[in-house]
Amino acid sequence: MTTTDDNTKARPRRYPLLLLVALVAIAVDLATKEWALATFRPGENVDVIGSFLQFTLVFNTGAAFSLGTGYTWVFTIIASVVVLGIGYIGWRVRSLWWGVTLGLMMGGAAGNLVDRFFRDPAPLHGAVVDFIRLPNWPVFNIADSCVVVGACLVVALTFKGLNLDGTMVTDEDKAEAKTENPDADGEEKKGE
Protein backbone atom coordinates (compact mmCIF):
# COMPACT_ATOMS: atom_id res chain seq x y z
CA MET A 1 0.00 0.00 0.00
CA THR A 2 1.68 3.17 -1.19
CA THR A 3 0.49 6.53 0.02
CA THR A 4 3.66 8.56 -0.45
CA ASP A 5 3.30 11.45 -2.85
CA ASP A 6 4.53 15.02 -3.24
CA ASN A 7 1.96 16.14 -0.66
CA THR A 8 3.46 13.75 1.90
CA LYS A 9 6.99 15.00 1.27
CA ALA A 10 5.77 18.57 1.78
CA ARG A 11 4.52 17.74 5.28
CA PRO A 12 7.00 18.58 8.01
CA ARG A 13 8.53 15.86 10.10
CA ARG A 14 6.95 15.72 13.55
CA TYR A 15 10.01 14.32 15.31
CA PRO A 16 10.63 17.54 17.28
CA LEU A 17 6.99 17.43 18.44
CA LEU A 18 7.31 13.76 19.40
CA LEU A 19 10.43 14.51 21.45
CA LEU A 20 8.86 17.58 23.06
CA VAL A 21 5.76 15.60 24.14
CA ALA A 22 8.01 12.81 25.46
CA LEU A 23 10.18 15.25 27.44
CA VAL A 24 7.14 17.00 28.93
CA ALA A 25 5.65 13.62 29.91
CA ILE A 26 8.92 12.58 31.56
CA ALA A 27 9.26 15.90 33.41
CA VAL A 28 5.67 15.85 34.71
CA ASP A 29 6.00 12.18 35.70
CA LEU A 30 9.26 12.70 37.58
CA ALA A 31 8.03 15.89 39.27
CA THR A 32 4.84 14.21 40.50
CA LYS A 33 6.78 11.16 41.73
CA GLU A 34 9.17 13.39 43.69
CA TRP A 35 6.19 15.26 45.12
CA ALA A 36 4.56 11.97 46.17
CA LEU A 37 7.81 10.77 47.77
CA ALA A 38 8.14 14.02 49.72
CA THR A 39 4.48 14.18 50.75
CA PHE A 40 3.30 10.66 51.59
CA ARG A 41 4.48 7.72 53.64
CA PRO A 42 4.44 4.30 51.92
CA GLY A 43 0.97 2.76 52.10
CA GLU A 44 -0.70 5.95 53.41
CA ASN A 45 -4.12 6.63 51.82
CA VAL A 46 -5.19 10.24 51.24
CA ASP A 47 -8.68 10.91 49.86
CA VAL A 48 -8.69 13.41 47.00
CA ILE A 49 -12.24 12.89 45.70
CA GLY A 50 -13.70 10.74 48.45
CA SER A 51 -12.78 7.11 47.93
CA PHE A 52 -13.04 7.52 44.13
CA LEU A 53 -9.59 9.09 43.77
CA GLN A 54 -6.89 8.59 46.39
CA PHE A 55 -3.17 9.12 46.65
CA THR A 56 -1.23 6.23 48.13
CA LEU A 57 2.51 5.72 47.79
CA VAL A 58 3.62 2.25 46.65
CA PHE A 59 6.73 0.88 44.99
CA ASN A 60 6.24 -1.49 42.06
CA THR A 61 9.08 -3.77 40.98
CA GLY A 62 6.88 -5.61 38.49
CA ALA A 63 4.98 -4.69 35.37
CA ALA A 64 1.38 -3.50 35.13
CA PHE A 65 -0.81 -4.81 37.93
CA SER A 66 2.42 -5.70 39.81
CA LEU A 67 2.87 -8.84 37.70
CA GLY A 68 6.35 -10.35 37.44
CA THR A 69 7.86 -8.69 40.49
CA GLY A 70 10.90 -10.97 40.30
CA TYR A 71 11.70 -9.97 36.73
CA THR A 72 12.32 -6.24 37.00
CA TRP A 73 15.39 -6.44 34.75
CA VAL A 74 13.25 -7.96 31.95
CA PHE A 75 10.84 -5.02 32.08
CA THR A 76 13.78 -2.64 32.05
CA ILE A 77 15.06 -4.21 28.83
CA ILE A 78 11.58 -4.24 27.25
CA ALA A 79 10.98 -0.57 28.13
CA SER A 80 14.41 0.33 26.72
CA VAL A 81 13.57 -1.42 23.44
CA VAL A 82 10.19 0.36 23.29
CA VAL A 83 11.80 3.79 23.79
CA LEU A 84 14.49 3.09 21.19
CA GLY A 85 11.92 1.62 18.77
CA ILE A 86 9.67 4.67 19.02
CA GLY A 87 12.72 6.89 18.58
CA TYR A 88 13.54 5.04 15.35
CA ILE A 89 9.99 4.88 13.97
CA GLY A 90 9.32 8.46 15.03
CA TRP A 91 11.66 9.81 12.38
CA ARG A 92 9.04 8.88 9.72
CA VAL A 93 6.18 10.65 11.50
CA ARG A 94 4.65 13.55 9.57
CA SER A 95 1.26 13.45 11.29
CA LEU A 96 0.61 15.81 14.19
CA TRP A 97 -1.59 13.21 15.92
CA TRP A 98 0.96 10.43 15.53
CA GLY A 99 3.65 12.75 16.87
CA VAL A 100 1.65 13.39 20.02
CA THR A 101 0.63 9.72 20.36
CA LEU A 102 4.13 8.29 20.02
CA GLY A 103 5.52 11.08 22.20
CA LEU A 104 3.13 10.10 25.01
CA MET A 105 4.09 6.45 24.71
CA MET A 106 7.80 7.20 24.58
CA GLY A 107 7.59 9.61 27.52
CA GLY A 108 5.56 7.17 29.60
CA ALA A 109 7.89 4.28 28.96
CA ALA A 110 10.94 6.47 29.62
CA GLY A 111 9.46 7.90 32.83
CA ASN A 112 9.14 4.45 34.38
CA LEU A 113 12.48 3.46 32.86
CA VAL A 114 14.18 6.25 34.83
CA ASP A 115 12.80 4.66 38.01
CA ARG A 116 14.02 1.22 36.99
CA PHE A 117 17.52 2.52 36.27
CA PHE A 118 18.01 4.93 39.18
CA ARG A 119 15.81 3.99 42.12
CA ASP A 120 16.44 1.47 44.87
CA PRO A 121 17.18 -1.36 45.27
CA ALA A 122 19.67 -1.36 42.34
CA PRO A 123 20.20 -0.23 38.73
CA LEU A 124 17.98 -2.20 36.31
CA HIS A 125 16.04 -3.46 39.35
CA GLY A 126 14.61 -0.18 40.63
CA ALA A 127 11.06 0.08 41.90
CA VAL A 128 8.63 2.32 40.01
CA VAL A 129 6.92 4.95 42.17
CA ASP A 130 3.12 4.69 41.91
CA PHE A 131 0.71 6.90 43.83
CA ILE A 132 -2.66 7.36 42.06
CA ARG A 133 -5.43 5.00 43.15
CA LEU A 134 -8.88 4.49 41.65
CA PRO A 135 -11.43 1.94 42.89
CA ASN A 136 -10.86 -1.61 41.65
CA TRP A 137 -7.71 -0.59 39.79
CA PRO A 138 -4.00 -0.98 40.60
CA VAL A 139 -2.11 2.07 41.82
CA PHE A 140 -0.45 3.91 38.91
CA ASN A 141 1.45 7.09 37.98
CA ILE A 142 1.55 9.75 35.26
CA ALA A 143 3.89 7.66 33.07
CA ASP A 144 1.41 4.77 33.14
CA SER A 145 -1.37 7.20 32.17
CA CYS A 146 0.67 8.47 29.22
CA VAL A 147 1.24 4.92 27.95
CA VAL A 148 -2.47 4.04 28.27
CA VAL A 149 -3.65 7.26 26.58
CA GLY A 150 -1.06 6.72 23.84
CA ALA A 151 -2.21 3.14 23.29
CA CYS A 152 -5.85 4.27 23.04
CA LEU A 153 -4.82 6.91 20.50
CA VAL A 154 -2.94 4.27 18.47
CA VAL A 155 -6.16 2.26 18.23
CA ALA A 156 -8.23 5.35 17.33
CA LEU A 157 -5.76 6.58 14.69
CA THR A 158 -5.47 3.12 13.19
CA PHE A 159 -9.25 2.72 12.94
CA LYS A 160 -9.51 6.21 11.48
CA GLY A 161 -6.96 5.20 8.84
CA LEU A 162 -4.37 7.87 9.55
CA ASN A 163 -0.89 6.84 8.46
CA LEU A 164 2.34 7.92 10.15
CA ASP A 165 3.08 10.16 7.17
CA GLY A 166 -0.19 12.05 7.66
CA THR A 167 -2.04 10.54 4.73
CA MET A 168 -5.31 8.68 5.06
CA VAL A 169 -5.82 5.08 4.02
CA THR A 170 -8.25 5.21 1.11
CA ASP A 171 -10.63 2.62 -0.30
CA GLU A 172 -8.20 2.18 -3.23
CA ASP A 173 -5.40 1.38 -0.77
CA LYS A 174 -7.60 -1.20 0.96
CA ALA A 175 -8.52 -2.77 -2.41
CA GLU A 176 -4.84 -2.82 -3.39
CA ALA A 177 -3.95 -4.53 -0.12
CA LYS A 178 -6.63 -7.19 -0.71
CA THR A 179 -5.32 -7.75 -4.24
CA GLU A 180 -1.79 -8.19 -2.91
CA ASN A 181 -2.99 -10.53 -0.13
CA PRO A 182 -6.34 -12.09 -1.09
CA ASP A 183 -6.43 -14.22 2.08
CA ALA A 184 -6.41 -11.12 4.32
CA ASP A 185 -10.21 -10.94 4.35
CA GLY A 186 -10.55 -14.45 5.81
CA GLU A 187 -11.38 -16.38 2.62
CA GLU A 188 -10.06 -19.93 2.50
CA LYS A 189 -7.29 -20.75 0.07
CA LYS A 190 -8.34 -22.86 -2.91
CA GLY A 191 -7.36 -26.48 -2.54
CA GLU A 192 -7.55 -26.55 1.26
Catalytic residue positions, numbered: 130, 144
User: Which has the closest alpha carbon to 64: 52, 54, 78, 50?
Assistant: 78
3-state secondary structure the chain: CCCCCHHHHHCCCCHHHHHHHHHHHHHHHHHHHHHHHHHCCECCEEEEECCCEEEEEEEECCCHHHCCCCCHHHHHHHHHHHHHHHHHHHHHCCCHHHHHHHHHHHHHHHHHHHHHHHCCCCCCCCCEEEEEECCCCCCECHHHHHHHHHHHHHHHHHHHCECCCCCECCHHHHHHHHHHCHHHHCCCCCCC
Cβ atoms 141, 149 nearer than 8 A: no
Cα–Cα distance for residue pair 158/171, rounded to 1 Å: 14
